[in-house]
Structure 1
Amino acid sequence: MSSRKTAIASSVSLVLLAAGQAHAGTSGSVALTSDYLFRGVSQTNEEPAVQGGVEYAADGGFYVGAWGSSVSWLSDLSSDAAPISSDVELDGYLGYRGKFGDSKFGYDVGALYYWYPGDYPAGFNSADTGEIYVGISASPSDAVALAAKYSYAVTDLFGYADSDGSGYLDISMNWQFTPGWTLNVHGGKQWVENNEAYEYADWKLGVTKAFDNGFSIAAAYTDTDAEQALYTNAFGNEIADGRFSLTFAKAF
């Protein structure tokens, strides 16, 4: 039922971006972003969002975490006949990451659940979504990190009917071209099972400035090739078109 909603970009990635290189122990971040973009699509009707997450990572490679953000995309579907009240996304995830021997190649496998608490009309197809994922990474140098991850929906995908089995491919590169400054490049492809009209590719080009005190500022331009007629909300906003965003974060 939630046709405005597209797939979610990795919340884990935002936490790790703000926190830097992961180590054993507990880490996390809080952030303020000008527009909450997941897989290229605004989740907040092009308005700012407050976000935060925490993760525990063990020495052996196991990790578990939680992440949350303010959202509006579900409430944006509300009408007098079918009122919806939901303004937060809460995610939980766990997995295992490590390296292939002493090489510069790594792997990451896990599961992630997206929960949207709120009040919904009778018959509303739940937006709550479970995904499993597998990823590989490479670090050809201390300044360059490459990664690819595929996520597979084990439930309906964010409310699309009969959409379990949907997938998302995420390919990224981060290049620290000078101390404290990182170029962020991303490309992705969303498949929506039994809802092919809503499938699209997205991409992002951005830069992040990290400070020694744990603060960071990220600016990015994001765009998609989504059919804009399908991604225009009730307010007339094209939520999958090209846009700039700015994010302020603090790692702890």
Structure 2
Amino acid sequence: MTHARRCCLALAAALSLAPLAASAQDNESPYSWNITAVSDYLFRGVSQTDEDPTLQAGFTYTTPVGLYAGVWGSGVDFGPGDPNTELDYLIGYGVDVTDKVNVDVLLNRYTYLGASHQNYNELITTTTFAERYKLTVAYSNDVWNTRTDGWYFALGGQWPLPHEFSLNANVGRSTFEKGVAKDYTDWNVGVSRQFGLFNVGLGYYGTDSNGRYNSGKLADNRVMLSVGIGK
């Protein structure tokens, strides 16, 4: 079975939920969904698909009080054999603290089909200021299922450009205990534009020398293109 076919089969559960959300035309619908094609799946500056393109899909249900739950999937390629698919399960809560500040707390379960020894949990908090700036702090006590603590800190922003384009930028720092990997910095800058339900993005991503030491060419600087549809 080809890598692409395995990805499509593994994402079927998430994709099958998309029509349910698409049928809800109300802008206040509790359902949201997305299907995206990417030229590379980059996680904190590092390719998860051996620099190849893949499909990704997600589905989320949000309650009126801000609690939400969802599933997200993507093709991956870490070398010969499994896994070929990442499937994440998430539950979280988002609340507007003030008119300009939103706080979101998310528990994410990273799972890898056929390679459960790589599964792990991460708690991710995101604080959004004035709808443009985001501060992210994430923690796992078992990063990559290594029984090692791992932290991620990031600061990002998004700004409007002429002709309905947006400029976005982010810088993050990953730190680890017990020497499982070197602490490293990742960054990205890009532009995107919404066309109805479609979104197109183009960005430039990179890591510092420690990132490249950890992951080799998979952490090299690169351009990534994404084309998605969602609501």
TM-score range for the pair, normalised by the shorter chain length: 0.7 to 0.9
> Over aligned residues, Cα RMSD in angstroms?
1.8
Equivalent positions of 1:91-110 (< 5 A) are: 91-101=88-98, 103-110=99-106
Match of 1:151 among 138, 141, 162: 138
Q: Distance in 2 between matches of 1:230 and 1:25?
A: 40
1:37 to 1:24, Cα distance in 2 relative to 1, 3 A? same
Matching of residue 88 in structure 1 with residue 85 in structure 2: yes
1:244, CA displacement in angstroms? Answer: 0.3
Partners of 1:198 and 1:226 within 8 A in 2:
no
Alignment correspondent of 1:162: 147
Match of 1:136 among 91, 111, 127: 127
1:172, CA displacement in angstroms? Answer: 1.1
1:129, CA displacement in angstroms? Answer: 1.2
Matching of residue 114 in structure 1 with residue 100 in structure 2: no
Percentage of pairs with the same residue: 29
Question: Per-residue CA shift, 1:9-47, capped at 9, x if unaligned?
Answer: xxxxxxxxxxxxx95510110000001001000000110
Question: Per-residue CA shift, 1:133-162, capped at 9, x if unaligned?
Answer: 2221111xxxx51111111103x2124x33
Q: Which runs of 5+ in 2 are unaligned?
A: 1-26
1:196, CA displacement in angstroms? Answer: 6.0
Partners of 1:205 and 1:221 within 8 A in 2:
yes
Partners of 1:31 and 1:247 within 8 A in 2:
yes
What is the letter of the counterpart of residue 25 of structure 1?
P
Alignment correspondent of 1:224: 207
1:209, CA displacement in angstroms? Answer: 1.1
Matching of residue 192 in structure 1 with residue 189 in structure 2: no
Q: Distance in 2 between matches of 1:25 and 1:119?
A: 33
Matched pairs, number: 204
Matching of residue 67 in structure 1 with residue 72 in structure 2: yes
Q: Distance in 1 between matches of 2:73 and 2:53?
A: 14
Q: Distance in 1 between matches of 2:177 and 2:199?
A: 37
Q: Distance in 2 between matches of 1:172 and 1:23?
A: 27
1:194, CA displacement in angstroms? Answer: 1.1
1:100, CA displacement in angstroms? Answer: 1.3
Q: Distance in 1 between matches of 2:59 and 2:49?
A: 22
Matching of residue 50 in structure 1 with residue 55 in structure 2: yes
Higher relative contact order (CA 8 A, sep 6+): 1
SS of equivalent residue, structure 2 residue 40: coil
SS of equivalent residue, structure 2 residue 118: coil
Question: Per-residue CA shift, 1:88-131, capped at 9, x if unaligned?
Answer: 00001111111114x211111121100001158xxxxx211101
1:187 to 1:61, Cα distance in 2 relative to 1, 3 A? same
What is the letter of the counterpart of residue 118 of structure 1?
G
Alignment correspondent of 1:34: 39
Partners of 1:162 and 1:193 within 8 A in 2:
no
User: More helix per residue: 1 or 2?
Assistant: 2
Q: Distance in 2 between matches of 1:24 and 1:62?
A: 14
Matching of residue 208 in structure 1 with residue 192 in structure 2: yes
